[in-house]
Structure 1
Amino acid sequence: MPNGAETKARVESYLLARIPFVSIRTVERARVLDVLGELTREKQLDVLVHTLSQGLRDLRTRTVISEDKSLLSALDLAGEWFQTRSNLTIVFTDVQHLSDDNDISRRFADLAALAEDHGGCIVIITSDPVWSTLQRMGMSVRLDLPDFDEMHQAIREFLRPYTTDIRIEWSPADYEQAASILAGVTKTEALNILATFVVKKEITTADLVELSRAKDSIFSELSGIERVQLRPGDYEVGGLAGLKHWLDRKRDLLTMDLRDRGIRAPRGVLLVGVPGCGKSLSAKTIASDWQLPLYRLDMGSVLGAYVGQSEKRMREALATADTVAPCVLWIDEIEKGLAGSGTDSTGVTTRLVGQFLYWLQESRARVFVVATANDVRSLPQELLRSGRFDDMFFVDLPEPDERREIISIYLRKYLRTAVEPALVDELVRISEGFAGSDIQSAVTEICHEAIRIGDDNVGEDYYLKCFRNVVPLARSAPEKVEEIRQLRDRAIPASGRTRVAADQPAASRRVVLG
């Protein structure tokens, strides 16, 4: 059952049972008033509503009962009416400071006792907790943000009157994708975004991308994770064909309704391997290609100096990610924050691991996690268990054909003149052992010279010199590269090449497809 319908059913039962005090926890006051308005008309209930802007008014007829807008005055009037009118319900919408024992809380407790004696009912709409003594005098219900079904219905109902006046290109699948994108915002915010499309006199499939951007602007100041600004067309990864093919097959599943299959949307990937070979760039490329906002969670910054601070920061960060979904969450060098589980004396790392694993396993928000690690051996083994990430890929130093692709990408991006194929062949040969970042560094140096003297004036010798001057990690620290490469058999090759299963004798090892 959609959460709005479930909340309506519970509130209806409380009002008909004449529960003296009902608190409705929500950030959507208007949505609750719509629910109460429907119940008032359907059940012929006597309901008054108090707001600081309009005072007391009848919810069904909308007539003003009292123009005195103060809360204290409304409480006094409510006390008088409960003694003279039976089965009266009064709704208070702008109440603060009810979370502890104070004068306002006690006034409401006295009013609730009076309501109980005369068959009355007080309804509080609030986003804050309620003083426990007051709450125990009645019942509480929570109205969460619209779920997929309710958002889907709200979008269709909002656009239905415009179908004859404007051009709406959305197919049923597009309506579902729109509902998926708008999950996490209030109904009012969602309809306001759609209203900006209506004024254009047309709604196209391209507006689905605008939906994501509009939603992202609402949450741009949320704490916990950092918004990464992406420049369109600025991200292209060379090589990694296996990872790219895997991502192409997962893309549409992120916004599809998969509930009838009983599965969740793709959860994400863990990228491990040699530094500088495109792990972090892959996160940016995925977000850019999928046209989703990219957020970065820095595991190092999560760690705090005070007791409970780290856990609080992690909880806030993950809650923020759920709120801004669908999105890509990039966790760079995840081992920095989650390494050492079970070895730190304070137990902070163990609790962070538990928090993260629970969220990774149980959250149904459409957050696609791209986590990178240079050394997976320092990570807790429970993080690597099947069912956490969808897959783990190993990103190795690029092979000749991959280096050719990477070199071509940067030459095309940074220079304004074509490079002869023979020269590219030589650069591929020289760059044996280079990571993608090494190639970028060499081509950047060529670009600097091209800016200084002109692209056509840069000789082939300078191209070769820039590449020969690079000392890659494979030459400066070959033992480190080989140490990292010991992890290759634990992950799928991101290159898409076949690998040899490490658990078979050399003469009889089978080929495993990545």
Structure 2
Amino acid sequence: MANKAEFKTSLLRMFRARIPFISIRSIERARVLEVVQQLAEEINIPIYFHSLSHGTIDIKSKKSVNDDRSVAGGLDFAVHNISQRQNLTFIFTEVSDIEDDNLVSRHLYDCVIQAIERGGSICLITTKTIWPQLQRLGMTITLDAPNEEEMLEVVKECVTPYKGSIPLEWDETDYKMAATILANMTKIEAENVLATQMAKGSLTKEDIKELSNAKDKLFSDISGLEKVKLDPSTLSVAGLSGLQHWLDNQKQLLTADLKARKMRPPRGVLLVGVPGCGKSLSAKFIAANWNLPLYRLDLAAIQGQYLGQSENRLKEALASADNAAPCILWIDEIEKGLSGASGSSDGGTSTRMVGQFLFWLQESMAKVFVVSTANDVSKLPPELLRRGRFDELFFVDLPGEVERKDIINLYIKRNLLPEPSSHTLNQLVEISEGFAGSDLEGAVRDVAIQAVIHGDDIVDDDLFEKCFKNIVPLSKTAPEKIESIRTWGRERAVPASGVSWEVSSNDKLIGKRSIII
């Protein structure tokens, strides 16, 4: 990404080289003109800019030099002056219809030809694609939204003047955290968010969370991304100690300064395993635990009927996720959205989408932590599993005895049920052999339903055993499918439970406690 300092240096070189046509890609016109004004002062060259509201203005003196506000009038004025004086620079801020061969792009093309002959320069601030024949006459430069370093300056410029006027609880750590949260927003967006927070008469440490909420609202309607609302009080994960330990380390890396070590932020985790064992819940738990917004990328929703439409939508969604950073990006059952990658039934769309997703996964430096889940591992593209794509590949297996006991207790407390006796709890653990987490939740929920209908007095050991015995888990209705999934996971992934597997002398798989570091 080109930050403000890099942009200024590159633009200075282009001005000195007298590049006849410069297309400046940015949505922040004021920020671009701020840099241009600084350069006009530093290298002492005449620079003018045209807008539909003011006509043509000298950027240094801010005086109007041509009242004609139309684009055609501004271009004619530029050509007239370039033909009489050398080394003039004109910047146009609102030129439309430049994507293809038409009157506007032809008019601009003729102006650039005049600039080539007289050492002039025509600059265009736009986000649109430019007619190729025109673009080949010059160069392109991009000014991205402020990164963390520049945003830190913006935050301090906004907050510091209010010292002594309102209570300010922020220290240097809070300023840096605010800059991390607001990074990739435009400067004016960040200033508006900060001004809104200070308008209440103070700036407290609690306002850091409000910055995340304010940024979240700006990206809540992104095409292909669905904002997931979280209730932290209902999010608890039991039996995945290995995954949780690994995530604690990643959380520290997400907020650490990794630039000096040339490291990228944590990219994410791929969770594969048995359906109903907490993979999707883990994505919500991570977002709630890390206090970050959660977005769900719906690969089915971005599928288009025209050639290239799906790939463009995916690109836009991933770019929007970068802008929303830091955040958690949840891709549920990723194999369903990319299942056509190995075939040609969709004309190669899935293959191109896989390539685009993997490129972003490998190259993006935004603090977007991806949590992808998969059930049918046989449909996963092999290149998705290569080391370096995700930071780790975890297998979520059916819970063991200790884990089932923890999960049962978790749902009993959540549903406010009387606890069964220790003997009955051990019986429930035995009865629930082969249960997934969702099966255990369903059994306890059946008990809770009876408690709601008949009162807590009906809840006893017999009711618990009856409800658990009524559950037929997926491991019994589709044993071959579940066993194939477990076999794959044990051979290729790290156990999310923190329990590794090894083969004993009688060829049975037995659990062995391990530590994930």
With over 3 angstroms needed to count, the CA separation of the structure-2 counterparts of 1:117 and 1:359, relative to structure 1, is closer
1:53 and 1:400 map into 2 onto residues whose CA distance is 72
With over 3 angstroms needed to count, the CA separation of the structure-2 counterparts of 1:133 and 1:245, relative to structure 1, is same
1:503 and 1:174 map into 2 onto residues whose CA distance is 57
Amino acid aligned to 2:357: F
Amino acid aligned to 1:240: L
Quote how far apart the aligned CAs of 1:240 are.
0.8
User: Residue 297 of structure 1 aligns with which residue?
Assistant: 297
Aligned length: 513
Q: Is the 8 A contact 1:501 1:510 kept in 2?
A: no
**Which of 465, 490, 495 is the matching residue for 2:492?**
490
Quote how far apart the aligned CAs of 1:97 are.
0.8
Q: Is the 8 A contact 1:296 1:332 kept in 2?
A: yes
2:280 and 2:64 map into 1 onto residues whose CA distance is 60
SS across alignment from 1:261? coil
User: Residue 373 of structure 1 aligns with which residue?
Assistant: 374
User: Residue 324 of structure 2 aligns with which residue?
Assistant: 324
Stretch of structure 1 that moved more, 268-277 or 220-229: 220-229
Amino acid aligned to 1:234: T
Quote how far apart the aligned CAs of 1:154 are.
2.6
Quote how far apart the aligned CAs of 1:424 are.
3.9
User: Residue 36 of structure 1 aligns with which residue?
Assistant: 36
SS across alignment from 1:369? strand
Q: Is the 8 A contact 2:335 2:377 kept in 1?
A: yes
With over 3 angstroms needed to count, the CA separation of the structure-2 counterparts of 1:17 and 1:207, relative to structure 1, is same
2:110 and 2:64 map into 1 onto residues whose CA distance is 25
With over 3 angstroms needed to count, the CA separation of the structure-2 counterparts of 1:453 and 1:252, relative to structure 1, is same
1:344 and 1:140 map into 2 onto residues whose CA distance is 37
Quote how far apart the aligned CAs of 1:128 are.
1.0
**1:190 to 2:190 alignment:** yes
With over 3 angstroms needed to count, the CA separation of the structure-2 counterparts of 1:96 and 1:194, relative to structure 1, is same
User: Residue 451 of structure 1 aligns with which residue?
Assistant: 452
Q: Is the 8 A contact 1:7 1:141 kept in 2?
A: yes
With over 3 angstroms needed to count, the CA separation of the structure-2 counterparts of 1:76 and 1:383, relative to structure 1, is closer
Q: Deviations over 1:340-381 (max 9, x none)?
A: 644436444433332222222222121111111223233233
With over 3 angstroms needed to count, the CA separation of the structure-2 counterparts of 1:341 and 1:56, relative to structure 1, is closer
Stretch of structure 1 that moved more, 44-53 or 113-122: 113-122
Equivalent runs, 1:396-435 vs 2, <5 Å: 396-415=397-416, 417-422=417-422, 423-435=424-436
Consecutive unaligned residues of structure 1, counting only runs of 5 or more, are none
With over 3 angstroms needed to count, the CA separation of the structure-2 counterparts of 1:502 and 1:139, relative to structure 1, is farther
Q: Is the 8 A contact 2:498 2:514 kept in 1?
A: no
Stretch of structure 1 that moved more, 91-100 or 28-37: 91-100
SS across alignment from 1:486? helix
So what's the TM-score if we normalise by structure 2?
A: 0.90
1:399 and 1:486 map into 2 onto residues whose CA distance is 16
Q: Is the 8 A contact 2:22 2:122 kept in 1?
A: yes
User: Residue 140 of structure 2 aligns with which residue?
Assistant: 140
**1:78 to 2:78 alignment:** yes
Q: Is the 8 A contact 1:489 1:502 kept in 2?
A: no
Quote how far apart the aligned CAs of 1:284 are.
1.0
With over 3 angstroms needed to count, the CA separation of the structure-2 counterparts of 1:280 and 1:503, relative to structure 1, is farther
With over 3 angstroms needed to count, the CA separation of the structure-2 counterparts of 1:462 and 1:390, relative to structure 1, is same
With over 3 angstroms needed to count, the CA separation of the structure-2 counterparts of 1:506 and 1:202, relative to structure 1, is same
**1:363 to 2:370 alignment:** no
Stretch of structure 1 that moved more, 33-42 or 295-304: 295-304
Consecutive unaligned residues of structure 2, counting only runs of 5 or more, are none
1:455 and 1:17 map into 2 onto residues whose CA distance is 82
Q: Is the 8 A contact 1:94 1:125 kept in 2?
A: yes
With over 3 angstroms needed to count, the CA separation of the structure-2 counterparts of 1:495 and 1:510, relative to structure 1, is closer
2:56 and 2:504 map into 1 onto residues whose CA distance is 75
Stretch of structure 1 that moved more, 259-268 or 143-152: 143-152
Q: Is the 8 A contact 2:303 2:310 kept in 1?
A: yes
1:312 and 1:42 map into 2 onto residues whose CA distance is 41
**1:499 to 2:501 alignment:** yes
With over 3 angstroms needed to count, the CA separation of the structure-2 counterparts of 1:501 and 1:307, relative to structure 1, is farther
User: Residue 223 of structure 2 aligns with which residue?
Assistant: 223
Quote how far apart the aligned CAs of 1:458 are.
4.1
Amino acid aligned to 1:187: K
Q: Is the 8 A contact 1:273 1:394 kept in 2?
A: yes
So what's the TM-score if we normalise by structure 1?
A: 0.90
With over 3 angstroms needed to count, the CA separation of the structure-2 counterparts of 1:173 and 1:36, relative to structure 1, is same
SS across alignment from 2:248? helix
With over 3 angstroms needed to count, the CA separation of the structure-2 counterparts of 1:160 and 1:2, relative to structure 1, is farther
User: Residue 287 of structure 1 aligns with which residue?
Assistant: 287
